[in-house]
Amino acid sequence: MAGLVLSLLVVVCWAAFRRHAVAAVAGTTAGMTVAAWCDWSDDSTGLFVIGVALVLHGSLFATALVSTLVRHVARGARWADR
């Protein structure tokens, strides 16, 4: 799990710094949600939908927060260079 978080953190930070924050948030969230759905969909109780919803909301919140922070830091760095 730590490897997944660290690798996604690098990708989201890089994309947000390059002014692609929306793509970073949407791509990461969609990828995590689809992967969870495909992996957990064989559950006969149907409770996997709750887990997938939690993955969707958690990854959306986390990537949006990281992207926003990186954008503000990058904007501040660019403002200081002027």
- Please indicate whether residue 77 or residue 31 has the higher confidence score (pLDDT): 31
Q: What is the pLDDT of residue 79?
A: 66
Q: What is the pLDDT of residue 78?
A: 64
Region 30-37: what's the mean pLDDT? 96
Phi, psi values for residue 62, rounded to 5°: -65, -45
Is pLDDT above 80 for 82?
A: no
Confirm whether pTM is higher than 0.75: yes
> CA 16: distance to chain centroid?
11
Q: Would you call 44 helix, strand, or coil by DSSP?
A: coil
Could you tell me which residues come within 8 angstroms of residue 71 by beta carbon, excluding any fewer than 6 positions away? 16, 17, 19, 21
CA 82/CA 69 separation, integer angstroms: 21
Within 1-82, where are the H helices? 2-17, 21-40, 48-81
